[in-house]
Structure 1
């Protein structure tokens, strides 16, 4: 058995599939445009803010993982959108597409023949591809759960 191949398969499943939870794509599918920016009284964020937070954080991890000169944005303002709603449908679609594109870009890093999943990056504090893949999967799963909660409070879950 090729252990790297098995590990990469497991990481891809965590990044792309539902496993024990609804995946990101299913959680945002079919959300009416008029509800994307609504912040329920019981929760601090709209679905748009959560989608953008996922996108911004994932992009940060991806860029950190492939570029030693990359500088992460300031916390927390660089990881959360300022507005509760997207400016238009194109911004919504662009954000969803970027999450998908960056997920596949990270998978390409994992699948690269020269990738050593556990070799620490020559920069940072001991991070490596395996750890960063788990961070993306965990972060996205956690906030996808919040998206579902917001949708339920808005009675918009099918």
Structure 2
């Protein structure tokens, strides 16, 4: 590979983890083997967001909020805010109590927070200074790769549940 002095100014060496970073970002954005977040929440009628279908323990609102809370917790664990990571109580703090959104704006605010937190997490993954394999100084050996896979796996699982919920309510658009 040839390079110019100008290019060398911005390039400190190859990022051997770059191919993996690219695949992780694609996995986090979804849509490869399942519906995307945007596909699943698209046009979900407001009057159905708090409905708990028979034989299910939660509403679309509870699933959306659970996804947001877990993703935020993993982001905070992976890149702790000033003052460090503070664990929240499982399962109490991970699921909203009420099946109904807390306000008229709560649904849209939760979606916006999901998108924003995912962007922040993806920025961690895409940062060539982030070692995907290096265990965090806190926790029990977790690393950025593990946390990315956890977000992808958890989100995929619950998006599937949202699809089933929508089908039970006869509001699935596909």
TM-score, normalised by the number of residues in structure 1: 0.96
Deviations 1:44-68 (A, max 9, x none): 1101000000000000000010118
Structure 1 stretches (4+) deviating beyond 4 angstroms?
none
Contiguous gaps of at least 5 residues in structure 2 = 1-13
- Selected match of 1:134 from 140, 149, 157: 149
Higher RCO structure, 1 or 2 (CA under 8 Å, sep 6+)? 1
Kindly name which structure, 1 or 2, has the bigger radius of gyration based on alpha carbons.
Answer: 2
CA contact (8 A) 2:15 2:128 kept: no
Alpha-carbon distance between aligned partners in 1 of 2:97 and 2:55, rounded to the nearest angstrom: 19
**Equivalent residues, number:** 158
Higher alpha-carbon deviation: 41-50 or 80-89 = 80-89
User: How far 1:134 moved relative to its partner?
Assistant: 0.2
What is residue 77 of structure 2 aligned with on the other side? 64
User: How far 1:136 moved relative to its partner?
Assistant: 0.2
Contiguous gaps of at least 5 residues in structure 1 = none
TM-score, normalised by the number of residues in structure 2: 0.87
**Where in structure 2 are the equivalents of 1:29-48 lying within 5 Å?**
29-48=42-61
Alpha-carbon distance between aligned partners in 2 of 1:141 and 1:89, rounded to the nearest angstrom: 26
Alpha-carbon distance between aligned partners in 2 of 1:114 and 1:81, rounded to the nearest angstrom: 36
Which one has a larger percent helix, Structure 1 or Structure 2?
Answer: 1
RMSD: 1.3
Alpha-carbon distance between aligned partners in 2 of 1:150 and 1:89, rounded to the nearest angstrom: 21
